[in-house]
Amino acid sequence: MHTLSQLQSGELVGAQHLKIQQDLTSFPMEILTLADSLEILDLSGNRLSSLPPEFSQLHKLKIVFASNNLFTSLPVVLGQCKNLEMIGFKANQIKHVPEQALPEQLRWLILTDNEIEILPESLGYRPRLQKLALAGNQLKALPQSMRHLHNLELIRISANQLTECPEQLLGLPKLAWLAFSGNPFCQVNIKIQDVPTVRFDSFELQQVLGQGASGVISKAKWRKPQNQFPENQFPEDVAVKVFKGEVTSDGYPQDELQVCLKVGNHPNLIQSLAQVNEAGYLALIMELIPDNFYNLGLPPCFDSCTRDNFAPGLSLPISKINKMVEQMTEVFEHLHQNQVCHGDLYAHNTLFDDEANIIVGDFGAATMYHMLTGTQQALVKQIEYRALMHFIDDLLCICDVKDKSSASFQKLSEMVNA
């Protein structure tokens, strides 16, 4: 984090990355003194509502974040920034996205949690666009021009007002990660009761195990034996995901809960034990994952955009990769037999142990699709099949060097490149 005084004193001359959060109501013009060096600008968490025309002087700028501000329109000046690749204006009050606001080099656009009803046709003519986050808006339709986004790999359109399945997306050749729950065209008015419903005070939350966009997962203990469910033998120690109430980057928490219950049990999925579904409190009680499981991958970075990263030095023998691929393929088939698209099939959402057993989690982007036509369902499955191929390809990148000439490695490589 930087300060205005540092900027004004000249202390930040030559800075490539600038982050200021000081309740700003106007753009600090001193930022322009960094025009010959600045590549990443983060002005999130202020009270900005506009950018000056001079903003385009930041000719080296590649990434701009301005989330949690007061913008009602995406600034047109962004479209004049010749090298700008990534724009993040999450959680503003944006209603209007002008045709001219999208730079030619745009690769990653985040407009989650705004009030957008219409997107410009120019969106479909940004050939480098790979990642697009639009969840939590008021979109009733998507531009037909989006059928031209041949490099789009990930899109989030959950929690909007789309009345028809956006078929212009389903045929995109590189799309692999798709989330669309919480729209009228895929409305699911069901309450799945595959597991018991318990009260929010039935358990005591302990240490936090992890958290993501949709909620916080904690270790928990039952306050007293759950004898009212004799057919369910609940373990004493469990994990509880308490969902956040608001829309997330992937969609509505209620949709995530219902999807988790719909997919049912599978050896490579975290088993759901019970649910809490009360006003102001939504939670899923799950089996506690053993301590000997670790994250397989790391989330994408700015450079990789949609593709996972891995811990430095991590390598796996082809025998373990084969075992992981077999398990993930079984998970994929299980999900789609239940007409569920995971939407976030990644190594970073996968846990593994020393024996190459895997557990797949994070259903925040998952979507039920049983209400679509047969053709649409087949295309949704095909989209997620690409994600499965990317998962395999990413694992091959960390394969032990000595195994890269093996028949097994070659077989998987051929499957990925088919």
| CATH fold for domain 294-417 | Transferase(Phosphotransferase); domain 1 (1.10.510)
CATH of domain 200-287: 3.30.200.20
Q: Range with the lowest mean pLDDT among 193-202, 335-344, 362-371?
A: 193-202
pLDDT, residue 249, reads 66
pLDDT higher than threshold 60 for residue 26: yes
Q: Range with the lowest mean pLDDT among 177-181, 190-194, 274-278?
A: 190-194
Question: Against a cut of 0.85, is the pTM above it?
Answer: yes
Q: Kindly report the three-state secondary structure assignment for every residue of the chain.
A: CECHHHHHHCCCCCCCEEEECCCCCCCCHHHHHHCCCCCEEECCCCCCCCCCHHHHHCCCCCEEECCCCCCCECCHHHHHCCCCCEEECCCCCCCECCHHHCCCCCCEEECCCCCCCCCCHHHHHCCCCCEEECCCCCCCCCCHHHHHCCCCCEEECCCCCCCCCCHHHHCCCCCCEEECCCCHHHCCCCCCCCCCECCHHHEEEEEEEEECCCEEEEEEEECCCCCCCCCCCCCCEEEEEEECCCCCCCCCHHHHHHHHHHCCCCCCECCEEEEEEECCEEEEEEECCCCCCEECCECCCCCCCCCCECCCCCCECHHHHHHHHHHHHHHHHHHHHCCEECCCCCHHHEEECCCCCEEECCCCCCEECCCCCHHHHHHHHHHHHHHHHHHHHHHHHCECHHHCCCHHHHHHHHHHHC
pLDDT higher than threshold 90 for residue 406: yes
pLDDT, residue 253, reads 79
Q: 111-150, pLDDT tens digit by residue?
A: 999 999 999 999 999 999 999 999 999 999 999 999 999 9
| CATH fold for domain 4-186 | 3.80.10
pLDDT, residue 227, reads 66
Q: 65-100, pLDDT tens digit by residue?
A: 999 999 999 999 999 999 999 999 999 999 999 999
Where do the domains of the chain lie? 4-186, 200-287, 294-417
Sign for the pseudo-dihedral over CA of 309, 181, 74, 22: negative
pLDDT, residue 230, reads 54
pLDDT higher than threshold 70 for residue 348: yes
Q: Range with the lowest mean pLDDT among 258-267, 287-296, 335-344, 345-354?
A: 258-267
If pLDDT is split at 50, 70 and 90, which confidence band does 185 have?
A: very high
If pLDDT is split at 50, 70 and 90, which confidence band does 231 have?
A: low
241 labeled binding residue: yes
